[in-house]
Amino acid sequence: MIVKRSKVVKIPGNEEWSGYKDDLDARHAHGLWFGKSLDDMQPLFSGGRSIERGSELLFMPRRAFQFYVFAFAQYVMSEAAIGDPDGASCFLNYLTAREKRDPGSVAAIFSRLEQTIDFVAASQARFDASHDIYGDFTEKAEDFRKLIGATHSTHDPEDQMLDPTDDA
């Protein structure tokens, strides 16, 4: 479950996407994701495309990633993800890969991802994910927790992205 805040979070703009032009993969992600809401991205995960979407998250600038990873979280929690073992497995694997590639990028938002990680780890059968092919989701989640244990921060970058004009 994604924890909602009382304030509206802005869709990442030019500032959050800063540096994307320096990386071919980030440019591709920008072309697909820029200006879109989390809901806008949902149809782009289904139909076996969750692996691609997760891969794009790996190369986004940090602040864009820290917003858009919640589109993936929203997808794996949805009815559309039932029977999508690649999506569920990739969600856990890409969190680990992103943290290794950009230490602190996932740890900083872990508190908001934790319920989704726990849900995926406990719901391997929901995704029809064979242990022989996809490994054990519970172990993957535990390994991820160990990875971020030393780098977890209570600073949440979403605080910088709150819309100051929203009075909610």
DSSP string, 31-71: HHHTT--HHHHGGGTTTTTHHHHHHHHHHS-HHHHHHHHHH
d(CA 45, CA 82): 12
Average pLDDT over residues 71-84: 96
| Cβ–Cβ < 8 Å for 113, 69 | yes
**91-130 pLDDT per residue, tens:** 999 999 999 999 999 999 999 999 999 999 999 999 999 9
Residue predicted with more confidence, 161 or 53: 53
Does the pLDDT of residue 147 top 50, yes or no? yes
Does the pLDDT of residue 160 top 50, yes or no? no
d(CA 20, CA 104): 19
Domain ranges of the chain: 20-161
| Cβ–Cβ < 8 Å for 126, 82 | yes
d(CA 63, CA 46): 24
Does the pLDDT of residue 9 top 90, yes or no? no
Does the pLDDT of residue 159 top 60, yes or no? no
User: Considering the chain, what is the average pLDDT of its residues?
Assistant: 88
Find the helix packing angle between 24-33 and 50-59, rounded to 10°: 120
Output the pTM of the full model: 0.84
| Cβ–Cβ < 8 Å for 36, 11 | yes
Determine the pLDDT at residue 8.
63
Average pLDDT over residues 38-50: 93
